[in-house]
Structure 1
Amino acid sequence: MVIMSLIILSYSVKQPASVGFFRKLVLETAAPLANIISTSFRGIDEAWKRYIFLIGIEDENRRLRQENASLTQEMVHHREGFLEGIRLQKLLTLKEKVDYPTIVARVIGRDQTSIVKTILIDKGTSHGLKVNLPVIADRGVVGRIVETSSHVSKILLLIDENSNIDALVQENRIQGILQGAASRGCSLKYVSKTETVSPGNIVISSGLSGIFPKGLLIGAVTNVDKTGSGLFQKIDVAPYVDFARLEEVIIVKSDMADKK
């Protein structure tokens, strides 16, 4: 009916004015229908344009998300480089304070179970490393080499129960043996109950072990207990090094290791 009305409307427009009443009737009937059709087509056209617009927005959003992910990754990469530079600068500063040749190595593996506390580094005999060389970080003693191959070495950490280092309390020069105590950090053993050691005292290497040069930072006393039986007090020491976050270390090529 809509099409018929349009045909009639088109036909009536071409006829002379004498058609009169019939033409007016057609106009009255067809005009609303033509308006409905025109409005419908406008709606379809606007809906299509809006669809195309939304597709464009989605494509742009996808592109922006990809660009944002790329920029975020780039920022993380640059920040990692920046933080690594800070860590290496601290190690280089420490190297200048050590009287022996040193080499920087990266941590490539770790075994810190309840029994064994060790890490692996990416340097070995081909870099001049050998068993018993001391290993340090910017905050203090890490441990010593216990196994080595051409390009990999295993480090026994300071906190392993098999680790023993001759140490002394910096403030009053009281000496003892620092032994690893796993989750408790370390214990300074064989210190007489007649000696005065206080929480907060700094513990350093004494240089008597034949492995670690004298004066390397180890940790701080956290607890002192003289109530137990026996001649010696119980002294807990918290290492300065955060072993769980070690990424780079310094191996000290001390000739003291040759004496072991």
Structure 2
Amino acid sequence: MTRPLTRTAGVAGQPIAHSLSPLIHNAWIAAAGLDAVYRAHGPADAGEFEALVARGRTGHLRGLNVTAPFKEQALALADVVSPAALACGSANLLLFDPGGVSADSTDGIGLMAALAEQAPALEVNGRPVVVLGAGGAARAAVAALIVAGADVAVLNRTRARAEALAADLGARVAGPAVPETAVLVVNALSVSPEIDLSGLPDDAVIMDMTYRPLITPLLAAARARGLTTVDGLAMLIGQARPSFSALFGVDAPDTDVRRLALTALGESGQ
């Protein structure tokens, strides 16, 4: 009998050496006892990323997670696009099948999973939330929160970009400050913003999609104010779970990948 080929998947981005995805996925692979491997790919440019996708089309890869700067290109190269990826305007997951390339986005799932894990008392349905930023990460957050029934406002330094995102997804535009009625503030910027948290409700939640450092200046300020915080690592793991299921055909095992990731980040005391 011919032994089945090892299922191969990975993550593509640039830079990619910092990615925790191989650590997370390979831990799940080992725990599930799968004949599979998950590798990091660092295409130098758009041309090399397109060549990697072409390799996937030949059957050499089951799929790819995709991170910056290739998420929009991943969407453009796909033959089939999920509603979530279409709403985000980008894809963080490509699956290669004989029929073509399918694009999806699990970022919104990851965001909601992180909120459920670290802020379980939060209810966003019908309540005001604010998303900081107007890039791809912000689009994923806005799309997921709107599906959850939240009254979403977008706050961005360049108001025109916030207006464009809000118009696309059915959100509002906030500014120039975070509304004091917000029960959730999500930072989708690559940097930690300086915002006034003093007027927010005592049960407000502050989330930062960044996980390097794990406790960003925004989260530190929120903790000092006594607010509940949600970190970017919870979102990373939350979006990885549905990716793993799609790539390998089984649910992610109940393995403490957060502990492994914290050790890799040098944050094992958190």
Task: Provide TM-score, normalisation by structure 2.
Answer: 0.25
**Which has the larger Rg?**
1
